[in-house]
Amino acid sequence: MSKHERLSGLPARPVISNGRRDAIIIGAGAAGLSTAYRLNRLGLSVRVLDRSDRVATPWRGRHPQLHLNTHRQLSHLPGLAMPRSAGPFPDRDTVIRYLEDYARFIGVPVEFGVDVRRIDENDEGWMVTTSNGVLATSHVVVASGRESIPFIPDWPGRAGFAGTVVHAADFGDIRQYRGKRVLVVGAGNSGTDLLNHLVKADLRSLHVSVRHGPSVAPGRILGMPLQRVAPMLEMLPARVADWFLDETERVAFGRLSRYGLPRHPMGPVTRMHEQGVTLAVDDGFIAALKLGRVTIVRAVDRFDETGVTMTDGLRIEPDVVIAATGYRTGLEPVLGHLGVLDSAGVPLVNGGETLGHCKGLWFIGMRPSLSGFFRAADRDSRKIAAGIRKDLAGRKRSGNAAQRSSIPAPSP
């Protein structure tokens, strides 16, 4: 049994790489495509693998009402602007078209239908085990998405609940909720996005279960999209940016604790860094809350056949429970054995950082930022491309030096 078979538990297959590439990128979303563009521009050979059958698959599954909450000018990828016609906050279909255009623009073909199952290190670099065989490369860029797998907590009694439980990822068309009693669990970034839409639908009732209040930013302040100051806030120390966003929330909405949303003990930027939770953006939810059209309830304790009981004993009977309870990366089977993931399966490094024991393994799209994932993909792809180029140049220099030292010196 080969070392690879032993490590992966998978049968060894022939290496199908027709010529070793400088880098293999896993995932053809915003992060993977940006990195492919950068590496290609540097003249490096790159292979992009994606398990889905076409570009922008995660965006196609998102609900049709969705608009970016990041401004158009902060949501384009390197080398290709988003058209002005996309408006300040492009809608889902515009994002899909943009990603399709971008995939054509970068000039690197994506290999669709290739599922990466495991990554192992060997003496010469990395072995990438895929559904089509094993590929060898010097560098691997993991761009498989931070929101790969919808996560729903294992609530007691949920299996016996006669109503519907859906994850926010499967929210679908808003019209299906008309006339229903809806409970949204979680009011983070995606929960608040759904609430912004649900408050405009004709529901029988709307409850929101929260452990603490989210940090909420208004979409615009004095007519200007607040998101446009995000790059500036990112340059400030976290506690200063926390203060600015807390004050903005207070000025825009007043004290939300009066409406049942107690302030989180951490400031929004500190929380984003420490817990990976992004700021929620309001577009109608808070006004509806103040009008009494939304009821805040405590965290979910358990389900029974017809209802849900909260931690304070309150019981309600929703028809639909929407779990806006986050996502997982799903990277454990692929990378869990390498010591590069934290206990939640999130990579320990991202962007230009690498771990000393895993040189040549890069991650992108794994950290939230105030200015959004698209802008982070633009910035981090540049750092990764520079890191890969530097490493390959170093290898070339030491290869040349080794070659020179093995040439016998001419006799005097």
Ligand X SMILES: Cc1cc2nc3c(=O)[nH]c(=O)nc-3n(C[C@H](O)[C@H](O)[C@H](O)COP(=O)(O)OP(=O)(O)OC[C@H]3O[C@@H](n4cnc5c(N)ncnc54)[C@H](O)[C@@H]3O)c2cc1C
Which stretches of the chain bind ligand X, using CB under 6 A? 26-32, 49-52, 57-58, 62, 66, 68-70, 75, 115-116, 143-145, 147-148, 190, 334, 365, 372-374
Per DSSP bridges, beta strands 308-310 and 220-221 are unpaired
Those residues with Cβ within 8 angstroms of residue 65's Cβ, 6 or more apart along the chain or in another chain: 92, 173, 174, 197
- Min dist. Cβ of residue 144 to ligand X (A): 3
- Residue whose CB is less far from ligand X, 225 or 297: 225
- Min dist. Cβ of residue 341 to ligand X (A): 14
- Residue whose CB is less far from ligand X, 69 or 354: 69
- Min dist. Cβ of residue 349 to ligand X (A): 15
Those residues with Cβ within 8 angstroms of residue 282's Cβ, 6 or more apart along the chain or in another chain: 192, 196, 216, 217, 218, 219, 252, 253
Cα angle 351, 136, 40; round to 5: 50
Residue nearest ligand X (C-beta atom): 29
- Residue whose CB is less far from ligand X, 348 or 393: 348
- Residue whose CB is less far from ligand X, 51 or 139: 51
Query: What is the rounded distance in angstroms from the CA atom of residue 104 to the CA atom of residue 285?
Result: 38
Query: What is the rounded distance in angstroms from the CA atom of residue 212 to the CA atom of residue 298?
Result: 8
Per DSSP bridges, beta strands 181-185 and 205-209 are parallel
- Min dist. Cβ of residue 404 to ligand X (A): 41
Backbone angles phi, psi at 406, to 5 degrees: -90, -5
- Min dist. Cβ of residue 66 to ligand X (A): 6
Give whole-number Cα distances, 347 to 208, 364, 368, in Å.
31, 9, 12
- Min dist. Cβ of residue 68 to ligand X (A): 3
- Residue whose CB is less far from ligand X, 99 or 297: 99
- 119's enclosing H/E stretch is strand 116-122
- Residue whose CB is less far from ligand X, 213 or 365: 365
